[in-house]
A and B are shown apart, each in its own frame.
Chain A
Amino acid sequence: MSEPAFALDIAGLNKSFDRPVVKDLHLRVKAGEFYALLGPNGAGKTTILRMVAGLLQPEAGSISVFGIDTRREPLKAKSIIAWVSDEPMVYDRLTPYEYLEFVAGLWNIDARTAQARSTELIGWLGLAPHAHERCGGFSKGMLQKVALAGALVHDPKLIILDEPLTGLDAGSARQVKQVLLDKVKAGVTVIMTTHILEVAERMAERIGVINHGRLVAEGTLAELRAMIGRETTLEEIFLDLVAQKEMDTDPAVDAAA
């Protein structure tokens, strides 16, 4: 059977908290693509990604990851997804090696493979000098790198990252970006939200702009430029698109996101 063309296929997705946060969202990300999801604060980006990762249940619509319906076969979908949030999901009282052993166990990776991958990731991310220290005293950047190593140790096909570069210093941010680019080169799909537009501009193959829970624009940087009819930076395009949409959208839609 051939590999599905889309790593992520979202159709008619809806989610409300005390008010609608995601409204009839349709989004497709190709396999092996680096996709950046942009949007102002409260636009619904995190809510969308949390639904994809299985951390929230949608009210309506479907999410399929490499052809697997995440609601019908959640465990099968989860086995090929990695989720990295801006708050590193790391245990203070475990060392990076212990953490990776635990994560690999959750994803049913055999011990020998997990150990080899962990050693490789720890070296790759510059964590080797701290590999046997408990994570409790680590800086935000180090914790984020441990979390990223955890996300990669089970060799996912789709990596979802929510603001992964928040709080990282330039060196750590560069390491994380490099690891992600290497993964995309190896055929892994990466979907990332970020407020650092320069990162999206330089790394993403396609960019989606979310506002008030809807996809308001999507395409390559060139396509987005063509959309607003100016040769300008992503920042200008983003502000232009968001401002344009603000004028004809109900402002009460997304404060809860």
Chain B
Amino acid sequence: MSFAPATMPWFAAHEWRLIWRDGVAMMTGGYPARRIALTVMLAVITVVLHLLANAIVGPWADAGIVADKSTLVLITGTGFLFWTVMLSQALESVTRAYYGRADLDLLFSSPASSRAVFAVRTGITAITTLLLACLLASPIVDVLAFHAGPQWLMAYLALAALSAIATALSVLITVALFRIAGPKRTRLIAQIIAAIVGAGFVIGIQAVAILHFGNMSRFALLQDPAFVDAAPALDSLVWAPAKAALGDWLALAGIVVVGAAALVGTIAFASSSFGRHAIAAAGVAQQHVAHAYGPVSFKSRSQKQQLRVKEWKLLARDPWLLSQTLMQVFYLVPPALYLWISYGKTAGTFVVVIPVLVMAAGQLSGGLSWLAISGEDAHDLVVTAPVSPFAVLTAKIEAVGVVLAVLFAPVVVLMLFASVSLALITAVFIAISSGSATAIQLWFRVPMRRAMFRRRQVASRVSTIAEALSSVFWAGTAVLTGGQQWLALLPAVLAVITLSVAWSLSPKGKRV
């Protein structure tokens, strides 16, 4: 089907083509032959997730779901968790629409309407946000539809409305930031807001659960009778999304209308300023800001020290990384809070925080290692310098190690007051988990610009999956070791197998 050039459908078709090709390239790592393997893998993952959801939600659905207040609180709370993730994702996508320069220069220099471009990109943000939400929620929704009736499929429409609201809100936040903070700071602030929103709600209710109920379950608060009693009455509009998901047609129609109106209204409101703000964002790169400085004073450092200092400077000056690190640090808040509250109680309770720390270490280490090892903007410079490749790599790994030590040492020290053995176990597995993630990044290193961080998965799906799996398995090993169980050997073996498979699939020997 072809559309008249420069119309909204024409732009939409163009955008979809790019997104599709981008997505396929990302998933297949640029090898079309991997499509079949990818399809099989996705099918397997879908089945596994549905089986998992069936095990968790199935019994609850079979017992009969009554649309009482406690059910509405639980669905609304869980739905709000999804929505915060959607809002975080939408905010990031909308910011990219303003700051991504890939083709904006071409589009703005053409006689095409910037309003049409904005409308299409905002609409696509809403759709991609919905797809993410569907990806996360579909196992639960499908299982509920299977056990409790097809009316649960209406939850997808409710999700569509919520994604439209999340996108509209993201546009409004971005426009407000442009007006208040200016184009130079909008991206950084938006990224930080996205990180806080993404992690904030889940951490917030976890923190409340720790403070009031003494455990880390995020559902403790949502299932607390006192909290349910204090929630608004059944006829409150707050429950509309939950009622829509439960099959209430009127509530569904209401939130769909609100979602569509919010999105259309926001597009109409913000599209007129899109061109202006996007051009202002482009101008940011041209601004030369001299930072406060004293007299120039070069420091005497060894080659490795120079490399480490350079890495730290670049990490500290990377706003996107800052927001990502901030998010990881947020996830450390509940365990730290739990340790603080539980101080003086039995050491056994601390076991629950170990996997959180080990997982976070693995994930953070993977990102930082990619930036330091693969994300080298001056790759040729470093390779042509009279420094051995081994020295370069060890310096970069040391730089990452120091950052991780600074982030995790305080929590481990806090643990020492409660249990020396558990603190040691945590420290050891933080080191192993982050070491594994770093090793994977080393095996799959491909020189790229740091700006490509978002697309590092393009380099290799295997490394991304291996990184995630090894973190999970080491977290499992750590918690079982903390609980003094022989079963700890099982995830440890799985972690080693994961690393072995990753090593065997890595493009070793192909680099200079």
Contact = CB atoms under 8 A, between A and B. Distances in A.
Interface string A74-117: 01101101110100011111110110011111111011101100
Nearest to A113: B298
B380 A97 contact: no
Given A55-B512, A90-B378, A106 B303 contact: yes
Interface residues of B, number: 40
Given A137-B285, A137-B288, A97 B296 contact: yes
B484 interface: no
A129 to B, nearest CB: 9
A173 B297 CA distance: 30
Contacts of A93: 313-314, 317-318
Contacts of B293: 132
Contacts of B33: none
B388 interface: yes
Interface in B274-332: 284-291, 293, 296-303, 305-307, 309-310, 313-314, 317-318
Contacts of A62: none
Contacts of B297: 115
Nearest to B301: A105
Contacts, number: 111
Interface string B158-191: 0000000000000000000000000000000000
Contact of B386 (A79, A101, A112): A79
A79 B300 CA distance: 18
Interface in A130-146: 130-134, 136-138
A98 B299 CA distance: 10
A131 B290 CA distance: 8
A54 B313 contact: no
A83 B296 contact: no
Contact of A101 (B290, B299, B317, B379): B299
Interface of B is mostly: loop
Instruction: Give the interface residue-count category, chain A.
Output: 35 or more
Nearest to B294: A132
Contacts of B383: 53-55
Contacts of B286: 137
Interface of A is mostly: mixed
A171 B287 CA distance: 21
A193 to B, nearest CB: 15
A150 interface: yes
Contacts of B378: 89-91
Contact of A55 (B284, B287, B302, B380): B380
Nearest to B316: A93
Interface of B: 284-291, 293, 296-303, 305-307, 309-310, 313-314, 317-318, 377-388, 450, 512
